[in-house]
Structure 1
């Protein structure tokens, strides 16, 4: 376990006498030291015992389990207040069925190197050499090729993809290339009365973009309503992007062209039932902010 990559959650210790190396003194010291998020290796060194003894102390004597540190946006008091205000606004203005008519949207940048998690990705092998031969080495380019993608998601499925130009996106590009796709998908799939959602990115909140939305969408969530630092409230951020990434065959990605092909294939592979389930849970998720005091939802 690497430093800063796991917490130990304390539970009641079991009864019984410790074995060699698991003295009551070492157990007491370990109990105090784990609050400092120290690694097992360093803990073993400071207790003058083996790493296996430390593992037994933590697992058997202290009944602890390892938990990774989870990353989430920092929420200031003002952010929390806006999140709570948004939750009550949704509750007072939308029914559960109304929320199934929301077209959520987001952009994401994909790198040709793919996605690699040092904690979760494992290779089964008898030794390191065999593991390396089976794909145990992750090579990352210094300046990997990238592509930015926009997509919308609603209870009726995923919209067509929009691959955005290299170099970023501004209001004009967003209006010219993204919003017409949003409007067509919404009109074709959600009827005459539907709602468009977008986060607080500059190209979304500019006066030019907001005016376009007022003029062209039946309804949309204006910039003064959507709370900042809230990816946990967008189905794309907390679920759909992961579905796409995990469905991609990264071993077939070796160029921008093949990266785009795999993104398209992954989008097609996600069932409408999966998307519907994700969207159906959104209303409950937003309302849960009230019992969660506006804090981040895992």
Structure 2
């Protein structure tokens, strides 16, 4: 319960849509289209990268990048200091920082920054590279943020950023706490499943 999890996610002005998960069951194509079978997307939608941290005490301030990608230099300059400040504020000097295996995270300079600054952190050799079942942001909190956004108001990158900033405040504390609290149970289930995904 003293772990600060973190993750990045792309958001674009077309909203969140996953063609593998968002399905419409219908008798024919016309019926499917009537109930949302067609989802229009722009060829090159405006997008931002969002970084967020979460722990049993709540969520960090959002870090929003309007341009570019997250390399190790951006990660060290813009995101890690936010995590450090928040973790120290809510836990004092006894907590662990957790990141995934993204290239910017596993870069030797990022690892060194974490080693030098965080009271404790899980290094790149002790966390599975692709572990969505183990990060509360992936299995719960991002969905909470996505559902809090009023997508009808998102018309541009500016309105997307406004909605992200206002919607992060709507993430329910109970969801954050329960998501982080379930981490150890999920970890046990993954171990019982020999490291494989579970349903």
Where does structure 2 lack aligned partners over 5 or more consecutive residues?
A: none
Report what 2:84 is aligned to. Answer: 183
Q: For 1:91-240, what aligned pairs fall within 5 Å after superposition?
A: 100-116=1-17, 119-120=22-23, 131=34, 138-240=39-141
Cα distance between partner residues in 1 of 2:86 and 2:144:
21
Greater Rg by CA:
1
The Cα shift of 1:294 comes to 1.7
* Per-residue Cα deviation, 1:162-188 (whole angstroms, up to 9, x for no partner): 012412011111111101100000000
Secondary structure of 2:9 counterpart: strand
Q: TM-score, normalised by structure 2?
A: 0.89
Verify: 1:268 aligned to 2:166, yes or no.
no
Secondary structure of 2:52 counterpart: strand
Residues 143 and 113 of structure 1: CA distance in aligned 2, closer, same or farther (over 3 Å): same
Match of 2:150 among 216, 224, 249: 249
Structure 1 stretches of at least 4 aligned residues deviating more than 2 Å after TM superposition: 116-122, 135-139
Secondary structure of 2:10 counterpart: strand
Q: TM-score, normalised by structure 1?
A: 0.61
Give the root-mean-square deviation of aligned CA atoms: 2.0
Residues 265 and 214 of structure 1: CA distance in aligned 2, closer, same or farther (over 3 Å): same
Residues 267 and 215 of structure 1: CA distance in aligned 2, closer, same or farther (over 3 Å): same
Cα distance between partner residues in 2 of 1:180 and 1:143:
31
Q: For the Cα contact (< 8 Å) 2:47–2:66, is it kept in 1? A: no
Question: Which structure carries more relative contact order (alpha carbon 8 Å, separation 6+)?
Answer: 2
Cα distance between partner residues in 2 of 1:121 and 1:277:
31
Q: For the Cα contact (< 8 Å) 2:102–2:129, is it kept in 1? A: no
Cα distance between partner residues in 1 of 2:40 and 2:144:
23
What is the count of residue pairs matched by the alignment? Answer: 192
Residues 121 and 253 of structure 1: CA distance in aligned 2, closer, same or farther (over 3 Å): farther
Where does structure 1 lack aligned partners over 5 or more consecutive residues?
A: 1-99
